[in-house]
Chains A and B, each alone.
Chain A
């Protein structure tokens, strides 16, 4: 019988549901770190099938694919369908750098009525809807680590976090959630 290797996610099987929030591991996704000058954006947007945002703290989505503005020439692209994004970028014959970071990051989904309070236990940004509206996205900090925070709905956030930091992030969030519900 053939032996089959099973890939384990760093947060597999972990979740917490309280009356304040639900915290769970996101399903695997493909990701690239993309750097490009503004002259390359049109061709890259066409190749990736999503308009690369050029406004600070913004994101763009089409289907399972999301493009997060991280800096003036830097984006994090993720695809929840695990399409090879480096192959997609090959369609754009313009100056750019794309590095596959699918397994560098993992993601945590946090949702619920007290989601802003739970995130604010570790994130110093103003997460009110006025300052951080639905669709906003930002690289920032959570406690002692760096994250990319994306608001998918009023009470729903996605946290992109480096794989080796994910246990710290998940534990910080669950501790905060327990504090709120006790």
Chain B
């Protein structure tokens, strides 16, 4: 089982308390009714799906209930770091092994 650090509970907690919630930093357009079908498609369906470092939303659903963001490596399945919702993407240099 993975241990995931919740930035609100400030400790590592078992994976079973968490739920994955898709890619992070996907910004919903403010003018959603005005954008083209292609622009909506890009916002709604297209995801980066990289091999390597990715940014994800997670929710500590059976803990504090908060949504937060995580930097995760899709190759090693490792959590690089986690940070509170609303915070910018952390600089990655310091986390590279």
Contact = CB atoms under 8 A, between A and B. Distances in A.
A58 to B, nearest CB: 11
Interface in B62-96: 62-66
Contacts of B8: 56, 71-72
A139 interface: yes
Interface stretch (B10-18, B27-35, B46-54): B10-18
Given A70-B64, A139-B62, A124 B9 contact: no
B97 interface: no
Contact of B17 (A70, A71, A74, A124): A124
B64 A146 contact: no
Contacts of B1: 124
B16 A56 contact: no
A74 B64 CA distance: 8
Given A56-B64, A72-B64, A139-B62, A124 B14 contact: yes
A125 interface: yes
Contacts, number: 40
A125 B64 contact: no
Interface residues of A, number: 13
Contacts of B63: 71, 138-140
B14 A139 contact: no
A138 B11 CA distance: 12
Nearest to A72: B8
Nearest to B61: A146
B83 to A, nearest CB: 15
Contacts of B66: 71-72
Interface string A133-173: 00000111100001000000000000000000000000000
Interface of B: 1, 8-11, 13-17, 62-66
3 cross-chain pairs, A with B, having the tightest CB-CB distances, nearest first: A124-B14, A71-B64, A56-B9
16 contacts: A56-B9, A56-B11, A70-B64, A71-B8, A71-B63, A71-B65, A74-B64, A74-B65, A124-B16, A125-B13, A125-B14, A125-B17, A140-B17, A140-B62, A140-B63, A141-B62
Interface of A: 56-57, 70-72, 74, 124-125, 138-141, 146
Given A71-B65, A74-B65, A125-B13, 8 more contacts: A56-B10, A71-B8, A124-B1, A124-B15, A125-B14, A139-B64, A140-B63, A141-B62
